[in-house]
Amino acid sequence: MQHLISMDDLTISQINDILDDANRFKKAKTNPALLRGKLLFTLFFENSTRTRSSFEVAAKKLGASVIHLDPSKSSTSKGESVEDTFANICAMDPDGVIIRHSSNDIPRILADMQTTPVLNAGAGNYAHPTQALLDLFTIKEHFGDTSGKRVAIVGDIANSRVANSIMALFPRFGIELTLVAPDGFMPTEDKFKKVDNLAEIIDSIDVIISLRAQLERHEKPVFDDYEEYASHYCITNEVIGNRDVVLMHPGPVMRNIDISDEMLSDKRSKVLTQVTNGVFVRMAILKLLLLDS
């Protein structure tokens, strides 16, 4: 049974299939009802704007049905364990469960029960594989090839599940990563080049991925003043100038802290293209998990 909990769950060849399928889905005017008769549950223990609706649109475009379980109104709020809630959902014979949870481990624990394919839609600060895949797709779509491209990740890398999945995925596709963050936001791992100042590397990068400060995961405030943080790390026209750089962000964007208003509407910003591409990439992921295995 195929799950998608972290990037390790997919081989390079499966990822290439996902990118190719996503490309086909994006080009097709109509999509075959590949998943007609399939039933998916979403179980989101954390807020979501893009990911949950993107999965729903993707599933519906392929003809599947989706049931959203609202954990705040489900029995987990009456003391039922997540494992028991999941087992009860599985007793209704779904074809997959899409889960988001503040715990790093819950999606893997549920996948290990081997009752239905589990898709991680964001786990703590551990992994958000579908976001990393749609980011890879967006870069490949823009440049044609990912090999040798230089990507700077800017912001709260230490607490970002998106950054973790990008760091696990992009080097497999020949992308060179540089981490740009102040001390409190810099992860401890040392596989990648690290700088505390974007200006130092701005002339040698092709893509900037800006990240939101993950305030919900900070035990105590990392910075007293986010305006001060923004004065160093906000992506503005001043920082980018007229350079040929692609600007990305997984959302939600904190305007004028992560990226300036002006840069968000600049044609180099791919923030909404990422959202558009997310649907096609998730269609391809659903196809792989529900049909190909």
Report the distance separating Cα 197 and Cα 181, nearest Å. 7
| Least distance from ligand ASP to the Cβ atom of residue 122, Å | 4
**Min. distance of Cβ 217 from ligand ASP in angstroms?**
10
Asked whether position 162 contacts ligand ASP by CB under 6 A, the answer is yes
Buried b (16+ CB within 10 A) or exposed e, 226-243: beebbeebbbeeebbeee
* Residue among 35 and 136 whose Cβ is closer to ligand ASP: 136
- x/- letters, 86..105, toward ligand ASP (CB under 6 A): --------------------
5 interacts with ligand ASP by CB under 6 A = no
Nearest approach, Cβ of residue 224 and ligand ASP (Å): 21
122 vs 129 by CB, closer to ligand ASP: 122
Position 251 contacts ligand ASP (CB under 6 A): yes
The answer to the question of residue 128 lying near ligand ASP (CB under 6 A) is yes
**What's the rounded Cα separation, in Å, for the pair 138 and 107?**
26
Q: Please state the closest distance from residue 254 (CB atom) to ligand ASP, in A.
A: 9
Residue from 38, 61, 108, 161 that binds ligand ASP (CB under 6 A)?
161
- Please count the residues of this chain forming the interface with ligand ASP, following the rule CB under 6 A: 7
Which residue's CB is nearer to ligand ASP, number 96 or number 129? 129
Does the protein bind ligand ASP through residue 212 (CB under 6 A)? yes
122 binds ligand ASP per the rule CB under 6 A: yes
Site for ligand ASP in 231-250 (CB under 6 A): 250
- Yes or no: say if 31 and 25 are a contact pair by the CB < 8 Å rule: yes
Indicate the residue whose CB is closest to ligand ASP. 212
Q: How far is the CB of 36 from ligand ASP (least distance, A)?
A: 30
Binding residues vs ligand ASP (CB under 6 A): 122, 128, 161-162, 212, 250-251
